[in-house]
């Protein structure tokens, strides 16, 4: 947890070429208004993500430094209804390019509103990202909006369904308002960052991290829904 509390805004980029040198990073993504900024702020214990809400930065990739070339990365929220097609296409390219090619990216924190989990766009994001073989951790945010029993029921349902889209996914309840689920989330994300040293070494040696077949299990998902992600159109991210 303390590592996230040291997070500081580093830079915003509109092009992958401008992304900072990094050893390991975790990206946060989700539909707009699901509570991504609030979750980042809750984990950092400060108004970290106000930066990503400032006009002009909402369509950029925002890097927050955790020290020693490690980062939390705030990706643009998806699912905006009223975005001109050209704008959408350009940030889908940025987002898709980042998620698909960024070697230091060691995992994705996917934020969903506990009352509307696994929307079609979330499913698309999961199916698409799991092709990288990297893990996903889902934060079911705003858990305080449901009773304890109802929230647990959603958690079990999502845990049961998510394997069809992303075999490397774990799920938890989260509330920025009640500050619940912070420790659990931080433990998962810090484990990814700590485990990323071998990945960083692979990259330094010029090998793609996914050359390790053990990390490629995501490709072998037999579910028909996940298989769709292997079709040619999966190269484009449409969110």
Residues in contact with ligand GDP by the rule CB under 6 A: 30, 32-38, 77, 141-142, 144-145, 175-177
Instruction: Show the beta-strand stretches assigned E in 50-135.
Output: 61-65, 70-74, 105-113
Query: Which of 118/226 has CB closer to ligand GDP?
Result: 118
- Min dist. Cβ of residue 79 to ligand GDP (A): 10
- Min dist. Cβ of residue 175 to ligand GDP (A): 4
Distance CA 134, CA 145 (A): 30
Q: Which residue has the tokens 């929307």?
A: 119
- Min dist. Cβ of residue 42 to ligand GDP (A): 8
- Min dist. Cβ of residue 1 to ligand GDP (A): 17
Query: Which of 188/203 has CB closer to ligand GDP?
Result: 188
Query: Which of 117/209 has CB closer to ligand GDP?
Result: 117
Query: Which of 41/170 has CB closer to ligand GDP?
Result: 41
Instruction: Please answer whether residues 39 and 138 qualify as being in contact, where contact means their C-beta atoms are separated by less than 8 angstroms.
Output: no
Distance CA 105, CA 99 (A): 8
Distance CA 67, CA 84 (A): 37
Instruction: Please answer whether residues 183 and 173 qualify as being in contact, where contact means their C-beta atoms are separated by less than 8 angstroms.
Output: no
Distance CA 36, CA 40 (A): 6
Output the six-digit token pair for 8: 């500081």
Strand order across the 70-74 sheet? 8-13, 61-65, 70-74, 24-30, 105-113, 136-141, 169-173
The 10 Å Cβ neighbour count of residue 115 is 15
- Min dist. Cβ of residue 184 to ligand GDP (A): 14
- Min dist. Cβ of residue 167 to ligand GDP (A): 26
Query: Which of 59/142 has CB closer to ligand GDP?
Result: 142
């Amino acid at each position: 947890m303390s590592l996230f509390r040291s997070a500081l805004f580093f830079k915003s980029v509109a092009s992958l070429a401008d992304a900072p040198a990094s050893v390991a990073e975790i990206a946060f993504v989700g539909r707009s208004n699901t509570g991504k900024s609030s979750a980042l702020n809750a984990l950092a214990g400060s108004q970290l993500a106000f930066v990503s809400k400032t006009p002009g930065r909402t369509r950029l990739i925002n890097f927050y430094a955790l020290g020693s070339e490690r980062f939390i990365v705030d990706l643009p929220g998806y699912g905006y209804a009223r975005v001109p097609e050209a704008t959408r296409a350009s940030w889908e390219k940025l987002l898709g390019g980042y998620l698909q090619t960024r070697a230091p990216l060691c995992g994705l924190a996917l934020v969903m509103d506990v009352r509307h989990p696994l929307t079609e766009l979330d499913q698309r994001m999961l199916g698409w990202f799991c092709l990288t073989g990297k893990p996903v951790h889902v934060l079911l945010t705003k858990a305080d909006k449901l009773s304890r029993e109802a929230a647990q029921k959603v958690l079990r349902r999502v845990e049961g369904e998510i394997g069809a889209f992303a075999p490397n996914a774990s799920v938890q309840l989260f509330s920025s308002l009640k500050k619940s689920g912070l420790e659990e989330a931080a433990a998962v994300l810090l484990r990814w960052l700590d485990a990323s040293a071998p990945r960083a070494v692979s990259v330094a040696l010029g090998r793609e991290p996914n050359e390790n077949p053990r990390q490629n299990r995501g490709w072998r998902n037999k579910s028909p829904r996940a298989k769709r992600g292997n079709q040619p159109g999966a190269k484009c991210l449409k969110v």
